[in-house]
Amino acid sequence: MADETTFGLAAIEQIAVNAHDIERAVGFYRDKLGMKHLFTVPPNLAFFDCNGIRLMLSLPAKPEFDHPSSIIYFNVENIEQAAETLSARGVQFEEKPAFVADMGTYDLWLAAFRDSENNLLALMSHVPKAAK
């Protein structure tokens, strides 16, 4: 058993995202975002792999849970290329890739879009500084 003074949460196993139409959401995440579909549990659950973290799409279990999810930021190496690829697949961006902050050794860039269920998602990229 963990020591009560040192215990703390750190590893995320799964993230739940609300969906109103599981089939439509599976198509969006699998076909437009190119995510690895693990399995579906009809009629209200679908699971995807996000580099070891499971993303669960589910129908809201109760009316009080029927709200957009938190923003999920997907780390990409080349944000311009990722945005172009997703746009070509029909993803509509609300915010095109843009510089956000100078982080010293890299620049932070973000872009935002919505999934088929109106949840806000984002791309994040750590753009290395050019060597001088």
Give the model's pLDDT for residue 18: 96
Domains and CATH numbers, the chain: 14-128 (3.10.180.10)
CA separation (Å) from 54 to 39, 110, 130? 11, 23, 35
The predicted-structure confidence for 102-116, as pLDDT tens digits, reads as follows: 999 999 999 999 999
50-98 tens-digit pLDDT? 999 999 999 998 999 999 999 999 999 999 999 999 999 999 999 999 9
Q: What is the pLDDT of residue 6?
A: 87
Mean pLDDT across 115-122: 97
47, amino acid identity: F
The fraction of the chain above a pLDDT of 90, given in percent, is 89
